[in-house]
Amino acid sequence: MTAIPVVDEPENPLRRPALVEGKNDFASVTDVVAGVAERRTPKGWYLLFGISIALLLNLLAMIGYLVWNGIGVWGNNVPVGWAWPIVNFVFWIGIGHAGTLISAILFLFRQKWRTSINRAAEAMTIFAVMAAGIFPAIHVGRIWVIYWVFPLPNQMQLWPNFKSPLLWDVFAVSTYFVISSLFWFVGMVPDLATFRDRAMKAGRTLAARLYGVFALGWHGSNRHWVHYEKAYLILAALSTPLVLSVHSIVSFDFAVSLLPGWHTTIFPPYFVAGAIFSGFGMVLTLMIPARRWFGLQELITLNHLDNVAKILLLTGTMVGYAYAMEFFIAWYSGVEYEQFAFLNRAFGPYAWAYWIMVTCNVISPQFFWFRKLRRNPAVLFVLSIFVNIGMWFERFVITVTSLHRDFLPSSWGMFSPTLIDVLTYVGSFGLFFTFFLLFCRFLPILAISEIKAVMPQADPHHDHPRTSPGHAGRAHAHH
């Protein structure tokens, strides 16, 4: 069609794989995504939702039991005063980070493939942060005075200590939750308008009203898009340093202490890389079944999974580098306590946890050097579960092995979780999946308007390439 011939073969580096596969146009993209919410609820959904609700109720029961009896019902005790609650907190908040990476950082880097996975990943972020926030909140013991963590006047006439990383964490996590929710909602407004218009057309008045309330009267005006795109760009630019700061501050909870194994400057970047690694693992765990069950294979293509696998390979290897560097610094610093902490970590009584962590986080992503494996959803799904397991163990190893044998051998001890610990953790999955399943059922799980905007047909010069020769460059040549 145009003057520049581009050879149609995958080896040609100028030719990017199509983001949307098959014979899709704008209307079919709308139909596919809206169809997920409009179709009859699949039976499998009820099954999963029932399990999730049961786990959520179990979580509420566990929290009630804990509040009634005090945190003695957990396994936390001297010397391991921080145990599963902080492990679970860091585990969940880390998972959230992939959502922000996809929605903000990949947006700033103009990675257009993000459009088909960003919405679900952002939802994952919000629900993961909710699951995370529960643990420090219930860990304070007297949850009825939780407002002491906020700068509010209280009966002690005392303000919070702003030199404590734990307080920085309060600000970081609550800001992260607010900004992620707003970013998610703003991105969803045009798609909620699509849902509203479809419900209106189909005569589903109640649905049209409900979607209409949240679509805020959006009507795709170009005057609105100008401000909207600006707001989206600014939110991406704000969320990028925000997500890096959140996990850096989470790592300060450990790094600012004086405990060998925690007191190290590598923690902020190491925690951020681990967070992104774990979050992308969870993205695969969620999206691989979802794309199959909801028939989204043409929108979430193997190329998307391939890209996610590459990020897993990169961040998993970075995490492996950090593990090695911790040992190097322990040796190079000449500090006996540091050296002992790391030898104890790898060869002490918790060596089994350490080697589970290394196997899952460093070895399992190395399979992604192979293109065949990166494009095999079954392999990806299994390895993503390994990533989730490995990253939980990473936080367990950091927290428990550093605490259980500190400076004084007379105060050494071992940690064992109670049934309440286990059920509370399992319950947090109930919370996460309950919300995620509701999201899958009722909201646009893919960013419809963003996907349309990256289709070749969205280019104004697509149908008349000769009207503006200045624009008909390499990017349009293959149509």
Q: Which is nearer to other proteins, 239 or 364 (CB)?
A: 239
| Side-chain-side CA neighbours of residue 222 (13 Å) | 0
Tell me the longest C-alpha to C-alpha distance in the chain: 82
- Give the x-and-dash track for 27-66 against other proteins (CB under 8 A): x--x------------------------------------
Query: Are 35 and 43 spatial neighbours (Cβ–Cβ below 8 Å)?
Result: no
Q: Which is nearer to other proteins, 36 or 431 (CB)?
A: 36
- Give the x-and-dash track for 267-286 against other proteins (CB under 8 A): --------------------
Does position 474 interact with other proteins (CB under 8 A)? The reply is no
CB of 421 to other proteins, least distance (A): 30
Give the binding-site size for other proteins (rule: CB under 8 A).
72
Does position 93 interact with other proteins (CB under 8 A)? The reply is no
CB of 357 to other proteins, least distance (A): 28
CB of 221 to other proteins, least distance (A): 5
- Residues 93-114 as b/e (b if ≥16 CB within 10 A, e otherwise) read bbbbbbbbbbbbbbbeeeeebb
Q: What angle do CA 329, 244, 401 make, to 5 degrees?
A: 40
Q: Which is nearer to other proteins, 183 or 277 (CB)?
A: 183
CB of 468 to other proteins, least distance (A): 9
Residues 188-247 that bind other proteins (CB under 8 A): 190, 193-194, 196-198, 200-201, 216-231, 234-235, 238-239, 241-242, 245
CB of 175 to other proteins, least distance (A): 4
- Give the x-and-dash track for 389-428 against other proteins (CB under 8 A): ----------------------------------------
Q: Is 417 helix (H, G, I), strand (E, B) or coil?
A: coil
Token couple for 198: 């479809």
CB of 457 to other proteins, least distance (A): 7
Distance of CA 126 to the CA centre of its chain: 8
CA atoms of 37 and 31, how far apart (whole Å): 10
| Residues in contact with 419: Cβ distance below 8 Å, sequence separation at least 6, in sequence order | none
CA atoms of 337 and 366, how far apart (whole Å): 32
Query: Are 131 and 426 spatial neighbours (Cβ–Cβ below 8 Å)?
Result: no
CA atoms of 353 and 349, how far apart (whole Å): 9
- Give the x-and-dash track for 442-471 against other proteins (CB under 8 A): ------xxx-xx---xxxxxxxx--x----
- Of 46, 65, 159, 369, which one interacts with other proteins (CB under 8 A)? 159
> Secondary structure of 298-334 in the HEC alphabet?
CCCCHHHHHHHHHHHHHHHHHHHHHHHHHHHHHHHHC
CB of 218 to other proteins, least distance (A): 7
Does position 100 interact with other proteins (CB under 8 A)? The reply is no
- Of 1, 3, 78, 158, which one interacts with other proteins (CB under 8 A)? 158
Q: Which is nearer to other proteins, 152 or 378 (CB)?
A: 152
Does position 162 interact with other proteins (CB under 8 A)? The reply is yes
Q: What is the CA radius of gyration of the chain?
A: 24
Query: Are 328 and 268 spatial neighbours (Cβ–Cβ below 8 Å)?
Result: no
Token couple for 221: 């005006």
Does position 178 interact with other proteins (CB under 8 A)? The reply is yes
CB of 34 to other proteins, least distance (A): 9
CB of 183 to other proteins, least distance (A): 8
Write down the H helix ranges in 101-201: 106-108, 118-139, 165-201
- Of 84, 135, 168, 270, which one interacts with other proteins (CB under 8 A)? 168
Token couple for 76: 């936390």
CA atoms of 426 and 440, how far apart (whole Å): 21
CB of 127 to other proteins, least distance (A): 19
Q: Which is nearer to other proteins, 299 or 360 (CB)?
A: 299
Range in contact with other proteins (rule: CB under 8 A) among 117-125, 130-138, 155-163, 267-275: 155-163
Q: Which is nearer to other proteins, 1 or 158 (CB)?
A: 158
Q: What is the DSSP string of 18-51?
A: PSS-SS--HHHHHHHHHHHHHSPPPHHHHHHHHH
> What count of other Cβ atoms lies within 10 Å of the Cβ of residue 50?
11
Q: Which is nearer to other proteins, 205 or 366 (CB)?
A: 205
Q: Which is nearer to other proteins, 118 or 388 (CB)?
A: 118
